[in-house]
Amino acid sequence: MKAATGRTLLDAIARRDYDLIRRCFAEQVRFDVLTPHELREHRTAVDAADRYRFWLDRLDGYELLEGDVEEIADRVRIRYRFRGRDPEKGWQLNEHTGYGTVADGHFVALKVTCTGFRPTQAP
């Protein structure tokens, strides 16, 4: 049941549907992202959706390459890899892995690690 929330989030990421991304999170959430440069902490569903918008909106040719969701005891693991062309840096590849807590169909906490945008070949 909790994995369904992760699958909905994965689908929303694939479609860059920021409204659906926002609805996957509780209004007050603990969404922490460890990037190669810093730890970013977000506390609202709107801020979480805005973080995804920041990552994905600027990418031309955006594509979710793979992803999966699994329940691990009382947590949900979500993992996905995506690619797109940044207008300044060219083709980039990125992967996120997150572990979260779901209550009432929303992530109330999600901690994500990020590879950072890595240069890659055009598809």
Q: How far apart, in whole angstroms, are the C-alpha atoms of residue 75 and residue 36?
A: 24
What pLDDT, on a 0 to 100 scale, did the predictor assign at position 42?
Answer: 98
Residue 98: phi and psi, rounded to 5, are -135, 155
Measured at the CA of 50, the angle between CA 109 and CA 33, to 5 degrees, comes to: 45
What pLDDT, on a 0 to 100 scale, did the predictor assign at position 45?
Answer: 98
pLDDT surpasses 90 at 74 = yes
Which residue range is the domain that position 6 belongs to?
2-119
Reading the block at residue 7, the tokens are: 């699958």
Give the domain CATH number at 12: 3.10.450.50
Reported confidence tier of residue 10, pLDDT bands at 50, 70, 90: very high
Q: What's the mean pLDDT when you consider all of the chain?
A: 97
Reported confidence tier of residue 91, pLDDT bands at 50, 70, 90: very high
Number of domains in the chain: 1
Q: Quote the pTM value.
A: 0.96
pLDDT surpasses 90 at 115 = yes
User: What is the per-residue pLDDT across 23-66, written as a single tens digit (0 to 9) for each?
Assistant: 999 999 999 999 999 999 999 999 999 999 999 999 999 999 99
What pLDDT, on a 0 to 100 scale, did the predictor assign at position 118?
Answer: 98
Reported confidence tier of residue 1, pLDDT bands at 50, 70, 90: confident
Is the distance from CB of 11 to CB of 91 less than 8 angstroms? no
